[in-house]
Structure 1
Amino acid sequence: MLKVSSNIAQTLRLGGEVSETTSMFGPLTDLIGTWVGNKGWNLVAVPNQKGGFLLLVQPYTETLTITPLSTPTPNRGTDIIQQVPTLLYSLSVHSNVDGSLLHAENGTWLLLPNCPSDFSIARQASVPHGDSLLALGGSSVTAGPPPIQPISTLPITGPGQMPFGYTDPYLVPMQGFNKINPNATLLDAISGQTIISSTNISVSTANQGGISNIPFITKNANTTSFEAIFWIETVQNPTTGGTFLQLQYSQTSMIEFIPQFHDPSKLIQWPHVNINTMVKQ
């Protein structure tokens, strides 16, 4: 494990209370540590080799480890040197049904001082499907519960009515998970909690970022965009009266395959959504 300098990422925990003292990581500070959550859900439409598509919906357990570099990463410019505080992360996702590995990923979170744009945070990620991405964004702080907004998982097929059968797998109810709006499942997870505040971190490849895919992915089920929102929540412990940190996220990758019905020159867009609610260990 990388050694952390004493003047960064210092956090006091007194009587269950969490308070940031000194950190060069700003809104990313509370991400540092190991998070575990067994309330994850993966929803993805994939090509069916017999034609059409399959909708896969899987509950999962995730372990996410985020480690700070002890010094910023220098970017040498023509006028100044940009010093970029850097967090390394790795995660693994296992099925709640049979324990099999569903996903592995590594990457970085970057805080971007002196950035010549409106974006102050970046996330870089690499996955063994053959995809790597750069997503940029920013952060805010909310008093009380996080501002979790609805999303839709339904495929985007172009104007007009969707052909019969394409929404059927989405409309079949599933216990414990809202397949149409997964963010409703996140709200259910915190419905009985007292959340004091939330740090909200959002990033998107539409913000001067992008995705690179291996040729097989590009040809068969091209991933074209990615966006994610992380909510770091300070939650009151009903037993001790203190607080603990909780992490929720919702992220959507757009996958394209099967020609659109009204314009075969374009492909249907299929939202691939992941959500989870996690607690720092």
Structure 2
Amino acid sequence: MTVHPPNTAPNLSEPLITEPPQMSPGVPTADLGPLQYLIGTWTNQNLPGTSMGGPQAPYAYNVMPLPQVDPSSPSGFILKNFTYYEELTFSAIHGSAANRGGIGTQTAYTIFYEQRVYFAEGPNKDALVHAENGSLLFLRDGTQQLGPYGNGDQPGIGNQTVKDSMAPTQAFNVVKQVSVPHGNSILALGNYTGSNAGSGVPTIPPATVQPEGFSGLPPQYTTQDPVTNPQPNFTANPNLVLENALAARKPSNFLELALSTRNGKGAVTNIGFEQQHANVQCYDFTYWLESFDGTDNYTQLQYSQSIWMQLPVGGRFLTFPHVTANTLTKVPGS
């Protein structure tokens, strides 16, 4: 048996992003639509007046099924479930990305994100368990400028457009591009309209965790085990941690953004090993940005993520949901 020294916990009190001093062009905040409210650093912090929410007792849970062919796991899979805490940063860029179609332009206003996830419990507490990065795009339609810089082939920058230019349309205007260092790339799409905003407490639907091919939850999901399944009540519905956080502190209003690879031409690609052993099929993700003063001062971020992957179990591939949910607070000054 090998005993390792304890892991060093990260400092969650400082913003992780420092924007370079650049006045022109500035960050096109207004054009980012709902994404502007994500900019900054978000971490697990105790909710005001409570001892819950921080790294020691986060409103977070992870349900992670893993394939394992071994006499100790005759069912062909095991669980590695745990509470966790994280650092999540969003940063805007000083510009945009124009997709030109000949007669019209679709402009992507972009923020980049980086996520670092740490065990909050178990033998490897405070170790990094997951990291990923990617971008979020807010798409706007518009006319197409004339020539490379809107001035035909004349010097300088202008505002001329091509003849009969007209704005394109698309079914989805929010995009999430995810890069996961397991060898997975994800493209998820969603919509933002005025109906995404609401007053009071958002409704958090239950998360689906039951794997394909079972009439109910397998015994691994319902039996408490300090290593593989420490909290079966959260395993049955990881989104319960979000409901508990909302019960502890009720927001005045919220903004919801849902994205999925099932929308439009969303997609998932996997490297060969993942295709054989944990082939990701689709991805569903929802953000809830929450305010406590009735304005758009969103200081709490909740999310629920479901990754549907095929595991080789008993000589066939079965689909297992891998679900994560967390409640984060914006770091002051970020």
Counterpart position of 1:132: 185
Counterpart position of 1:43: 63
Q: Distance in 2 between matches of 1:185 and 1:279?
A: 15
Of 212, 219, 222 in structure 1, the residue corresponding to residue 279 of structure 2 is 222
Which residues of 2 match residues 159-178 of structure 1 at below 5 A?
Answer: 161=215, 167-172=218-223, 174-175=230-231, 178=234
Q: TM-score under structure 2 normalisation?
A: 0.71
SS in 1 for 2:275: helix
Counterpart position of 2:160: none
Counterpart position of 1:34: 41
Q: Distance in 2 between matches of 1:231 and 1:175?
A: 24
Give the drift of 1:236.
4.6
Percent of matched pairs sharing the same residue: 31
Cα 1:170–1:33, aligned 2, differ >3 Å: closer, same or farther?
Answer: same
1:24 aligns with 2:51: no
Greater strand content: 1
Report how many aligned residue pairs link the two structures. Answer: 254
Give the drift of 1:267.
2.4
SS in 2 for 1:218: helix
Give the drift of 1:157.
1.3
Q: Distance in 1 between matches of 2:232 and 2:257?
A: 26
Q: TM-score under structure 1 normalisation?
A: 0.83
1:113 aligns with 2:113: no
Amino acid at match of 1:129: H
Amino acid at match of 2:83: P
Do the aligned partners of 2:99 and 2:106 also contact (CA within 8 Å) in 1?
Answer: yes
Do the aligned partners of 2:96 and 2:108 also contact (CA within 8 Å) in 1?
Answer: yes
Q: How large is the RMSD of aligned CA atoms in angstroms?
A: 2.2
Cα 1:7–1:185, aligned 2, differ >3 Å: closer, same or farther?
Answer: closer
SS in 1 for 2:248: coil
Counterpart position of 2:306: 252
Q: Distance in 1 between matches of 2:266 and 2:38?
A: 22
Do the aligned partners of 1:177 and 1:185 also contact (CA within 8 Å) in 2?
Answer: no
Q: Which range is displaced more, 96-105 or 74-83?
A: 74-83
SS in 2 for 1:54: strand
Q: Distance in 2 between matches of 1:193 and 1:43?
A: 25
Q: Distance in 1 between matches of 2:233 and 2:241?
A: 6
Q: Distance in 1 between matches of 2:126 and 2:113?
A: 22
1:277 aligns with 2:334: no
Give the drift of 1:280.
0.5
Gaps of 5+ in 1: 10-22, 238-242
Give the drift of 1:132.
0.7
Of 116, 120, 141 in structure 2, the residue corresponding to residue 92 of structure 1 is 116
Counterpart position of 2:78: 54
